[in-house]
Structure 1
Amino acid sequence: MRVWLACFFVLFALAKLFDWVQELSLPLPIYILGGAFLAVASNYDKIVGSNFSDAISEAQLEQPQLNASSIEKVNT
């Protein structure tokens, strides 16, 4: 019974929220700013991720690569 009651209240709240959103009217600049925000947010990993991957690859190129023969030379 509790599940049915909880589902009823959740669906009722969603229906009222949907009605309220349909009546909401925003000016055009808000839509433009919202679209710009969504574009930046959806491409954030491409913008910032490329900078991090470039820095990591540069750091790996600067460090000498160790292999088994160079480790044996150091130990002897």
Structure 2
Amino acid sequence: MKESQTNITYRRLELKLSKIAAKIADAADLSRQAKELAVNSEHLLIDAQTEIDDLYISLKDCGPISETWPDA
């Protein structure tokens, strides 16, 4: 009977360890995804800023708005 209890205890510990390992793996994956998202977001923001800069420069090259846009 004692050996049976030891086996049950061992299996319970094994199951708990397995669940903890799964949580760690999930957290590591979420961390990786968060890093990728941060990098992708940074690239999108840099691209958007570049587009804004380019547009601003092209507007400056057009002269004052009142001279180039009839409705201004």
Shared fold, TM over 0.5? no
Q: Which has the larger radius of gyration?
A: 2
Instruction: Return the TM-score normalized by structure 1.
Output: 0.43
Higher relative contact order (CA 8 A, sep 6+): 2
Richer in helix (by share): 2
Instruction: Return the TM-score normalized by structure 2.
Output: 0.44
